Structure 1
Amino acid sequence: MAETVVSFVSDHLATLLREEGSLLGGLRQEVQLIKDELGHMKAFLKVAEAKEEDDPRLQEWIKQVREAAYDIEDVLDEFVLRFAGYRHHGFCGSLQRILKAIKSLRARHQVVSEIQSIKSRIKNISEGRQRYQVEFGINDSVTGSSTMNDSWRYSRDDALLVEEAKLVGIDQPKQHLISKLLEGDDHQLKAISVVGMAGLGKTTLVKKVHDDPEVRKNFPVRAWVTVSQTCDFPKLLRDLIRQLHKDLDKSVPQSIESMTTAELKEFVKDFLRRAGRYAIVFDDVWHVEFWNAIKFALPEGNYGNCVMQTTRKADVASASCTESQDYVYKMEPLSIEDSWTLFCNKIFKGNRCPAHLMDVAKAVLDKCDGLPLAIVAIGGLLASKDASRIDEWDKIQHSLGGELEGAGKLERVKRILSLSYNDLPSHLKPCLLYLSIYPEDDLIACQTLILLWIAERFVEWREGMSIEDVAWGYLSELISRSLIQVTDVFYEGLPYDCRIHDLMREVILIKSREQNMMTVTTGQPMTWPSEKVRRLAIHSSSNSSNIQYHQQRQFYCFEHLRSFITVRSTNPLLSKTFLSEVLRSSKLLMVLELGGEEIEETPNEIFNLLHLTYLNLYGTKVAKVPRAIGKLQILEYLNLGDTGVRELPVEILKLLKLRYLIVFQRVDPSGSDYGYHGFKGPSKLGRLQALQRLGTIDVSSGSVIVKELGKLTQLRELFITQLRREDGKELCSSLVNLTGLRQLSVDSVGKGDDYVDLNHHQHSLSSYSSCSFLQSLRVLIMRGRLEKMPIWITHLQNLVRLDLIWSGLRAEEDPLESLQHLPNLGEISFCGSYQGERLCFKAGGFLKLKQLWLRRMEGLRRMTMEEGACPHLQRLILKQLPLLEDLPSGIQNLSHLQELGLYEMSSRMMEKVENQEEESEDYRRMTHIPEIVIGFYTDDGRRRIRRLWGKKKKKTILA
């Protein structure tokens, strides 16, 4: 983490020297010296941070470096705020500069003094670096530690000694892996990878597979090698050679001690080629490079040899599994039932949990979230407590974070989980620690998370890539490393929501506090940290009356604040006094997240935050944006979604760095079927050239604003409301210029019988094959009446999602005709889109469709799914189709269908689905569907959901 801060500050210094050198004057040499020293420290930090947990002196030195880097960042931003921000032009501007310089002599003297002080600190810290380099024998070219922590070695050995009788939930995955091991071609080397987060029991599972009698019989030559993070490859090969000789009762040649790596590989390969059928396990593999190195020592032969590996990282798992027989097994957490069994086995020796402990036991088990390592460790801790005293169990439940810290009883769990953090490259460490802003069990919106990373300056620009795409890459890597769990995806498979395991979150909180990354409070009385608070997150249980701070220390706490974040607040009103004080004293604030707070007007103090890049007021009661918004000239993200704002002042055009502008309110608060109220913007909106997302813009004022949209050539997402029919031609002309547009939403709801006409485009979209707009579009949402389907829709070769809402297409304008051959279309949602009586999905159509929603089409009587249509459909939702009385004809052809949802359908349809006899034809048409969900309203107006599970499974009714 310190390496990341130093790297960022070093880059910041380079930019300042390059672009603001004239303002530095005599300070230029001082700043250059600081930059050079930080460069030397950065190289040393990469190694020092890997060793800091085992040496308190290194910890203290790294802390000094980090705090010095933070202070340099503050001084630099203060400098820019005081001087670089004051630029004027012309004669009047010259007079202002002179006056400003006179007034700023004191400020300039203060900056000089601060930089001199920092230079002195850096010099002392640098002397410490040189001393530690000699003491630890580390030079700047070393990239990693060469020794492995003994406790980690012991923890892996422990997993190999677990008795099978004590294991829970292992039988099914064990048999599954054995079958994979024994099946298939006997003339090909088979690779099987088991992947999952730390503590899931990967090593234990693979050990039981490896030792199974059936496996031993089929693979007489066997070996187990622990790889781990700090792999000494020649040593590993020698260990493998010793195991193989011991397994075959042969003496180990002394010559292996002097062999080179290449000779050792050749020795292993020759030995295995002659030995017979082998199965080798490589446990705890961390790097793709390991497989690329070891595979040359493994002969394929003619015996069906097998290699298994365990890893926390998806890319490592897939790197070794490239052939048709290879297999990646994703390790899942224990089920609730198996978790409870393991928990009781550990604490009560297989007996029942006492009734008075049930509630606290379940709360503790929820924290473990199916992680066997945690269940066993926490179970062992609770087993030492008096079972008659519920207060002792309560104490453990509420202090798990403390038990993970330092030399707590769960320190081993922390150490194992921390290895994944320690293995991260420097640019990903702050991204992971940033997750500490989210409360326990919170679903994390991935889009919001990556935008916050960008605003915090964690994401590095890369040539040829947008900053958002780089950030998505960061998120993908954290997911691949099993540190973040995806809970939902949206179009193109991108993660929509994610979460972190509760105990991993505790480790992140510990690391975050150690690094002074984030201060998290629920508003309860607390003592602010002795270190400077740089990021403050207030969680949902905050109460304005409980947000307490010592008045005299307020300036000390918040003058260094860079981010102020409230998360899902249920607080009636964040204390105005507290918020005003924070904003007034935090002049370096970059991120302000107030989404959901009951703020009725934008605090005036915000407009003095000239470093602000991210401002979120989503879901507040703000109804007006003051003209002072123009002062926030480096603002990149402004979210006024679900507020009362309907118009933006002309001063918004001063925000030339603005990339995200989001202003809307739902017409119907319960959903989005009826569209959104947008905002009316200034007529010269095209000046905001950096915009990448614009929504929702009200274009009812006419063609002038529609034409301006064509100037926003960086747009990726565009949401339009109140489009007039006569402006359709102008919109098409503007869209041609938006060559990178990925998502388009066009809304005309509220115009009575008027139509959206997007077919006046022959002159502008005449060459479909070369039109960049048509090639880039991924998501299209059209809300409002269509006279006919736009001709160009058939050319959207990369479209993955289409929503047609209230289109009201006549029977002769069957929308399926235009859409069925779109090669990448994966999701369709029709709502009031079609007036015909029949929809027929024809054979060979919709080859990639996975999800289909049909709603509120009151004339629809029949649906047909021809054989070969929608071959990959997984989810079919039918809602409020009153005349549709039968299931779609041919539904039995949808072999991949996982869920059929029927909501507020006709009583005849409901009766047919719920009361089928197992011998009936209709029942047989449904038996392949794993889940059927029925939604309806009772006579008293309450909504009910009934889930019908597949054949031979019981029905369950849920409220």
Structure 2
Amino acid sequence: MLLKLHKQKGDKPPEDTSQMNRELLTNEVRNYLQQKRYVVVFDDVWTVHFWDDFKFAAIDSKNGSRIFITTRNKNVVNSCKKSSFTEMFELQCLTQEQSLELFNKKAFKFDYGGCYPNELIGIANEIVKKWNGLPLAIAAIGGLLSTREKNLSEWQRFRENLNLELKTDTDLIGIKEVLSLSYDDLPCYLKSCLFYFGVYPEDYEVKSKRVIRQWIAEGFVKEERGKTLEEVAEGYLTELIHRSLVQVSSLRIDGKAKGCRVHDLICNMILEKHEDFNFCKHSSDDGQRSSSEIVRRLSITTIDDAFWECIHGSHVRSLFCFGNQEKSSSYFKGNSTKYKLLKVLDFEDFDLKNIPNNLGIFIHLKYLSYNNSNSGAEVPKSIGMLQNLETLVIRGIYYCELPKEISKLIKLRHLIGKTMSLIQLKNGIGEMKSLQTLRRVSLNMDGAAEVIKALGKLKLIRNLGLLDVHKQNESILSSSINEMQHLEILYIRSCFNDNESIDLNLISPPPMLQNLILQGKFKEFPEWTLDLQNLTMLRLVWPCSDKDPLQSLKSLQHLLSLYLDLYRYEGLQLHFQDGGFQKLEVSTVIRLSRVREIIIDKGSMPSLKTLRLMYLRNLKNIPTGIQHLEKLEYVYIWGVVDEFGERSSTEDWNWIMEHVPLVKILPQDYEEIKYLRS
């Protein structure tokens, strides 16, 4: 840097700069910049602690000097934020309209006045859409097509051979080189994690929890003191996102990634690395097969007789199946003995009609997920032999009674189903001490009390979902939940056949609880919810109470999402008072059959972005004070009566809600939109 500064000014640099240590070089730069007005640009910085090295050389003489740093790694940004004068500008991907504009400038800069002809509109949109608003890729593709014939057949041929073009065309190779910088900078433990996104089909959205659990099963995640493996793996995913290698496709209410995917360009790079490192073998609908002889991971979208003949199953450690359901399940049944060393078996995306009874042969299996829609399907008893199993996900089966042999799986961390009965495990479920996730357990049977009591022994449980809870078990359920001090997500649905309401009395509610869903006949709004200061999402459905919950709930200052379905509420008014719900971003209110008016005080819900009001048949007008919600982005009101808004004209609504980008107001029958602005 010192040499470049002197060269730009035409000055003679200091002698022996190559012999200077860091401190001397820093002083030289600092002295040179003293009293000067300068602009310095550091482009594509990857070293996280870059600013720690440079900040002592920077001089702020209060004369308008600026330092610009560009990076694809958010951790670099976080490091630079240590300076009080740092401002961050996060560049967003281009919209489809902006992408087309850039593409046209590049592809038609010598023809048609910079605009594409009508016959190429469709194919141009398809090509541009593939790059998801990435300017570098769009500019490169457009520049390449500017040298090609401007006719439909030529462009269709280009689109079909795009992957080959990326490998061979000199104009596009530069894109790969830029992406390679991102890959090369990764630590080794993150490279394997990134490779895993190539296992899924192109443009596939994978749920964050799913890929995290598979990383753990593969052994990619290393233990860290004071953290669960899942928390460590979540940190890995966050780092890949911060490095712009993984895209967030959907968000949880707390801002963390719910679903993610990789850009097509990243995916192409990953698939090339799969071949280079023999990471995964692919079988797809287009008949393509990778050529690796030894297969460690196998990703299938289509399988046939010829495919099975070329597979050396004894080497496969992870097997993923996407699509071609009928064939996949039948072939797997006949070839299951070839995969005795499997660690990961993911059949979640299609219907596995034939579950092999000899499931117990996969003694190394750590992750098992499958989908089965057969109503009479049973989980094989041999599953109890899978002593290393950590994750078991059963999709499709509406009701599944798990065999008692599952209680032998003492390493199991996540047990997830649609509706599961644990009655056969009542004497063993309490010994499954590693369980962190236990979701959608039905308690609608004799002996449910023993199951509930045993659940209280699961001290590490973090995510619990219980269905069909009876009044007679309310006390023992309260006692068991009091023991779950690590609980973060709790879903309880009462039994609809009970005439009496349930009263949960938590003396020591889980302090880490973040998400709470209570559905059914609960006696009152539980007072213990007010002690949950980490609660970010609350959903109350059909509680047996005619009281206004807002007076109590407004003290939950960390709440981000509130969903109230209050069909028994007798009040004529719902009032959001000043000072309440300071962090609330999403509010949904349903089935307030008698409410005529909703009032929102100034100072209430200052962070609200989304407001949904549904089945409010007697609501007469839009909420009073809605103009105070300055951050509101979306208002959806459905199920209003014909008289709704008679006291206000469309002009009034436009004035009151002019700050809201999207507003929909619909009657219950959907026949006519009363008001729409977007």
TM range (shorter): over 0.9
Which of 687, 691, 696 aligns to 2:435? It is 691
How many residues are aligned here?
A: 670
Deviations 1:395-414 (A, max 9, x none): 32122222223676522111
Q: Give the distance between the partners of 2:16 and 2:317, measured in 1 at CA.
A: 61
User: Which residue number corresponds to residue 595 of structure 1?
Assistant: 348
Letter in 1 for 2:467: T
Contact 1:755/1:787 (8 A) holds in 2: yes
Conservation of the 8 A alpha-carbon contact between 1:333 and 1:370: yes
Tell me how far apart the structure 1 counterparts of residues 280 and 554 of structure 2 sit (CA, whole Å): 50
After alignment, is 695-704 or 583-592 more displaced? 695-704
Deviations 1:221-246 (A, max 9, x none): xxxxxxxxxxxxxxx33323433x33
Residue 239 (1) aligns with residue 1 (2): no
Deviations 1:881-916 (A, max 9, x none): 111121112111111211111233333337788x61
The residue matched to 1:782 in structure 2 has which SS? strand
Q: Deviations over 1:337-382 (max 9, x none)?
A: 2221222222222433233333322222122222222122222322
SS, match of residue 650 in structure 2: coil
Return the alpha-carbon distance in structure 2 between the equivalents of residues 351 and 328 of structure 1.
34
Aligned-pair distance for 1:583? 2.2
Query: Paired residue for 1:271?
Result: 32
Q: CA deviation at 1:947?
A: 5.0
**Bigger CA drift: 333-342 or 316-325?**
316-325
- Inter-CA distance 654–313: structure 2 relative to 1 (3 Å threshold): same
Q: Of 616, 626, 639, which aligns to 1:891?
A: 626
Determine if contact 1:743/1:780 at 8 Å carries over to the other structure.
yes
Corresponding position of 2:664: 933
Q: Is the 1:367–1:503 Cα contact (8 Å) retained in structure 2?
A: no
Q: Which of 629, 636, 644 is residue 390 of structure 2 equivalent to?
A: 636
Q: Which amino acid aligns with 1:741?
A: L
Please list, as runs of the form range in 1=range in 2, the aligned pairs for 1:568-583 lying within 5 A after superposition: 569=323, 571-583=324-336
Aligned residues of 2:404 and 2:425 also touching (Cα < 8 A): yes
With over 3 angstroms needed to count, the CA separation of the structure-2 counterparts of 1:576 and 1:721, relative to structure 1, is: closer
| Deviation of 1:463 (Å) | 1.7
Verify: 1:751 aligned to 2:511, yes or no.
no
CA gap 1:330/1:386 in 2 versus in 1, 3 angstroms: same
Match of 1:803 among 539, 546, 558: 539
Q: Which residue of 1 aligns with 2:193?
A: 431
1:646–1:679 CA contact under 8 A, matched in 2: no
Contact kept in structure 2, 1:688 and 1:712, CA below 8 Å = yes
Residue 617 and residue 795 in structure 1: after superposition, are their counterparts in 2 closer, same or farther (change >3 A)? same
1:948 and 2:674 matched: no
Cα 1:911–1:428, aligned 2, differ >3 Å: closer, same or farther? Answer: farther
Question: 1:480: how far off?
Answer: 0.7
User: Secondary structure of 1:588's match?
Assistant: coil
Q: Which secondary structure does the structure 2 equivalent of 1:428 belong to?
A: helix
TM-score (norm 1): 0.67
TM-fit CA distance, 1:472: 0.3
Which residue of the partner structure matches residue 608 of structure 1? 361
Q: Which amino acid aligns with 1:753?
A: N
Q: Alpha-carbon deviations, 1:118-173, whole Å to 9, x = none?
A: xxxxxxxxxxxxxxxxxxxxxxxxxxxxxxxxxxxxxxxxxxxxxxxxxxxxxxxx
2:166 is the counterpart of 1:422: no
The structural deviation recorded for 1:447 is 1.4
Partner Cα separation in structure 2 for residue 886 and residue 945 of structure 1: 12
Specify the code of the residue in structure 2 equivalent to 1:310.
Answer: T
Contact 1:774 1:795 in 2 (8 A): no
2:465 aligned residue (699, 714, 719): 719
Read off the aligned partner of 2:559 and give its amino acid letter: L
Q: Which letter does structure 1 place at the counterpart of 2:604?
A: A
Report the secondary structure of 1:269's partner residue: helix
Contact 1:635 1:657 in 2 (8 A): yes
1-structure distance, mates of 2:415, 2:125: 44
1:364 aligned residue: 127
Q: Which of the residues 453, 462, 475 maps onto 2:215?
A: 453
Q: CA deviation at 1:937?
A: 6.5
CA contact (8 A) 1:368 1:375 kept: yes
What secondary structure, in the 3-state scheme, does the structure 2 residue paired with 1:493 have?
Answer: coil
- Give, in whole Å, the separation in 1 of the partners of 2:619 and 2:424: 44
Q: Deviations over 1:543-576 (max 9, x none)?
A: x6xx34256434x2x2211111123x3x352344
Shift of 1:745: 0.8
Whole-angstrom CA distance in 2 between matches of 1:455 and 1:910? 57
Equivalent positions of 1:662-741 (< 5 A) are 662-665=416-419, 680-684=423-427, 685-700=429-444, 701=446, 702-741=448-487
Which of the numbers 550, 556, 559 marks the counterpart of 2:314?
Answer: 559
Give distance in 1, aligned partners of 2:580 and 2:630. Answer: 15
Structure 1 equivalent of residue 511 of structure 2: 775
Do the aligned partners of 1:877 and 1:900 also contact (CA within 8 Å) in 2? yes
Q: CA RMSD in A?
A: 2.4
Identity value in percent: 33
Q: Which residue of 2 aligns with 1:659?
A: 413
Tell me the secondary structure at the aligned position of residue 416 of structure 2. Answer: strand
Equivalent position of 1:822 in the other structure: 556
Whether the aligned pair in 2 keeps the contact of 1:318 and 1:328 (CA below 8 Å) is no
Distance 1:681-1:407 versus aligned 2 partners, 3 A rule: farther
Rounded to whole Å, the distance in 1 between the matches of 2:418 and 2:612 is: 28
Matched, 1:486 2:248: yes
Rg bigger for which structure? 1
Contact 1:679 1:696 survives alignment (8 Å) = no
**Secondary structure of 2:418's match?**
strand
Contact preservation (8 Å) 2:588, 2:612: yes
The alpha-carbon distance between structure 1 residues 893 and 551, as it changes in their structure 2 partners (threshold 3 A), is closer
Output the CA distance in 1 between the equivalents of 2:86 and 2:173: 37
Report the Cα offset of residue 581 of structure 1: 4.1
2-side partners of 1:437 and 1:880: how far apart?
44
**Residue 403 in 1 paired to residue 403 in 2?**
no
Structure 1: how far apart are the matches of 2:307 and 2:661? 59
Superposed displacement of residue 394, structure 1: 2.2
Kindly state the Cα deviation for residue 293 of structure 1 after the two structures are TM-superposed.
0.6
2:41 maps to which residue? 281
C-alpha displacement at 1:262, in angstroms? 1.5
Give the conservation status (yes or no) of the 8 Å contact 2:562–2:587.
yes
C-alpha distance in 2 between matches for 1:792 and 1:903: 32
| Counterpart selection for 2:613 from 867, 878, 903 | 878
Does residue 1:846 correspond to 2:609, yes or no?
no
Match of 1:860 in 2: 595
Q: Is the 8 A contact 2:370 2:395 kept in 1?
A: yes
CA distance, structure 2, for counterparts of residue 875 and residue 490 of structure 1: 14
* Offset at residue 425 of structure 1 (A): 0.3
SS of the equivalent of 1:497 reads: strand
Is 747-756 or 734-743 further displaced after alignment? 747-756
Separation of aligned partners in 2, 1:613 and 1:737: 28
Q: Distance in 1 between matches of 2:22 and 2:463?
A: 53
- Go from structure 1 to structure 2 and tell me whether the alpha carbon gap of 1:854 and 1:723 turns closer, same or farther (over 3 Å shift): same
In the TM superposition, residue 854 of structure 1 has moved relative to its aligned partner by 0.9
CA distance in 2, matches of 1:617, 1:518: 20
Letter of the aligned partner of 2:21 in structure 1?
A: T
What's the CA shift for 1:681? 4.6
Q: Does 1:538 align with 2:300?
A: yes
Aligned mates of 2:307, 2:514 — CA distance in 1: 52
Cα distance, 1:527 vs. partner?
4.3
Tell me, in whole angstroms, the C-alpha distance in 1 between the residues paired with 2:334 and 2:160: 32
Contact 1:876 1:899 (C-alpha < 8 Å) held by counterparts: yes
Is the 8 Å Cα contact of residues 638 and 668 (structure 2) preserved in structure 1?
no
Structure 2: gaps spanning 5 or more residues: none
| TM-superposed deviation, 1:439 | 2.3
Q: Aligned partners of 1:524, 1:644: CA distance in 2, in Å?
A: 34
CA drift at 1:752: 4.2
User: Given that residues 599 and 621 in structure 1 are in contact (C-alpha distance below 8 angstroms), is that contact kept between their aligned partners in structure 2?
Assistant: no
Choose between structure 1 and 2: higher helix proportion: 1
Q: Distance in 2 between matches of 1:877 and 1:619?
A: 35
- The CA distance in 2 between the partners of 1:605 and 1:358, in whole Å, is 55
Task: Give the secondary structure class of the aligned counterpart of 1:297.
Answer: coil
Q: Give the Cα separation in 2 of the matches to 1:505 and 1:910.
A: 51
Partner of 1:204: none
Q: CA deviation at 1:632?
A: 1.4
